[in-house]
Amino acid sequence: MTEAPVPDAAPDAGTFRRLHPLTPVLRGWKVFAAVVAVALQQMYGDVSPGYLFLAIAASIPVGIAYGWLSWRRTHFRVGRDDLRLETGVLFRRSRQVRLDRLQAVDVVRPLVARALGLAELRLEVAGGSSSEAPLAYLSEPAAQQLRAELLARAAGLDHGSDPAPVAPERVLLTVPLGRLVEAQLRTGGLVGGVVAGVLMVVVAGVSGEVTLLGLALPFLLVAVPAGLGGVVGQFDFTVAESPDGLRLRRGLLETRAQTVPPGRVQAVRVVEPLLWRSRGWVRVEANVAGYVGEGQQRASVLAPVATRDEAARLLAVVLPGLDSRQVVPRGVPRRARWLDPLQWRSLAVGSDDRFLLVRRGRWRRETDLLPHEKVQSVRISQGAVQRRLGLATLHVDTTPGPVAVVAAHRDAVDARTLLDAEVAAARAARAVARPDRWMQPPAAPDGPNVTL
């Protein structure tokens, strides 16, 4: 095994490299934090405070030593077809990531790492249960360069000894801070929690029952942090188009740069909350193949709040060839009002030769868009009351995510017809679909038209 003499450098492919020399500082603080947490738990026990402070002081060099050993024993190498990562202090572990199965490469910069000019590279691989071979930490320029190198090799491009160029980008959407804050203030959960909390305070003041103030705290403690978390997590949200996919950047305390590769968006949902309609705002969510767990939740938001025109431009890139004017949604029969008396008029389904469209919701309008070639299975469910009324629900399954395409309370015969039509459309679409590959976005007919 040959090691690179200079850490965090960019040697030729096949040479083992090390992480940034400041990595031990960031890894060692975890040991210090664990000791502090245990010490705080023992503050009210029989342990002398002197021993506790001594343990905390001793954890600092121990943590640094552990971080140094971990850094010293960590190497990675980028080959022609794979990424190899060697880790382990007590037990050695060797991992190989096939680049042809690479689904996403994200650059994450926690607050402390940003202060030191460092970044973490996280890889999402098809079939993985979590991020594979996380590289923490590299300098921010080195992380960007390594990301470009991995994407180039995943696309089958070989630049030899020359560094892979970073693909250019075109910004599609930037969410202003004022709009993001107002959108959070107009969220139904935040408004309901604050109103409930204020009402409790008013009732307590009028009735003189001070104990009611305790009932107000849960509403405020849940609503306010949720609103702040939405602003902090989606701060400076930017969407850009590049040859290697759709780039998403966000975050105030922890910045995150994600790349959604071409063809990985399986289904899209456009959400119109009631309190946003006067401003003409929508939220765009998606099921993205390759991401799992927490990564799926983050990658699912393509736009936390956008105008209808911005969302239409975004959909034209994410779903090339979409022409919503060609899709004529059909509603449900009147007898569906017995099962959904408030929203049955909003239930509708439509399709063309490329996409399936499903709409629902009266106060929270949702429009699901699903390319036929992304359909994994189609099924019909029918409850006892639905059988009595001659109704059925059509389920169109795709990869896990926030978008669950469900056409509820259709006429039973119509649901069966929709199922047969969708199976045929999916088969025909997959027969002509081009395989997804990095740096090769799917071809689209000229002039996609999207109206929201």
DSSP labels, 179-241 = HHHHHHHT-HHHHHHHHHHHHHHHHHHHH--TTHHHHHHHHHHHHHHHHHHHHHHTTT-EEEE
DSSP alpha helix (H) spans, 73-187: 111-115, 140-154, 177-185
Residue bearing tokens 């022609």? 80
CA 203 to chain centre: 41
* Model pLDDT, residue 296: 64
Q: Which residues does residue 395 pair with via DSSP β-bridges, in sequence order?
A: 379, 406
The confidence band for 12, taking pLDDT boundaries of 50, 70 and 90, is: very low
* Model pLDDT, residue 298: 67
Phi, psi (degrees; rounded to nearest 5) at 258: -110, 155
pLDDT of residue 204 exceeding 80, the answer is no
Q: How far apart are CA 87 and CA 77, in angstroms?
A: 12
pLDDT of residue 446 exceeding 50, the answer is no
pLDDT of residue 201 exceeding 60, the answer is yes
Segment 75-83 shows an average pLDDT of 86
Smallest CA-to-CA distance from 143 within 76, 240, 71, 236 is with 76
Sheet of 93-98, strand order: 75-78, 82-87, 93-98
Phi, psi (degrees; rounded to nearest 5) at 302: -90, -25
pLDDT of residue 9 exceeding 50, the answer is no
Smallest CA-to-CA distance from 318 within 344, 305, 300 is with 300
Q: Which amino acid is at 1?
A: M
Residue 403: strand, helix, or coil: coil
| Residue 280, CA distances (Å) to 37, 210, 275, 306 in order | 47, 42, 10, 8
Phi, psi (degrees; rounded to nearest 5) at 446: -65, 140
Please confirm whether the linkage preceding 66 is cis (ω < 30° from 0).
no
The confidence band for 126, taking pLDDT boundaries of 50, 70 and 90, is: low
71 vs 377, residue with greater confidence:
377
Smallest CA-to-CA distance from 306 within 265, 270, 256 is with 270
Segment 445-452 shows an average pLDDT of 56
pTM: 0.82
CB-CB neighbours of 60 under 10 Å: 14
Segment 60-89 shows an average pLDDT of 82
| Residue 17, CA distances (Å) to 85, 148, 270 in order | 10, 16, 44
Q: Which two tokens stand for residue 67?
A: 């971080």
Give tens-digit pLDDT for 18-67.
898 888 877 766 666 776 666 666 665 566 667 667 766 777 777 777 77
Give tens-digit pLDDT for 307-359.
999 999 999 888 888 877 778 899 999 999 999 999 999 999 999 889 999 99
CB-CB neighbours of 75 under 10 Å: 20
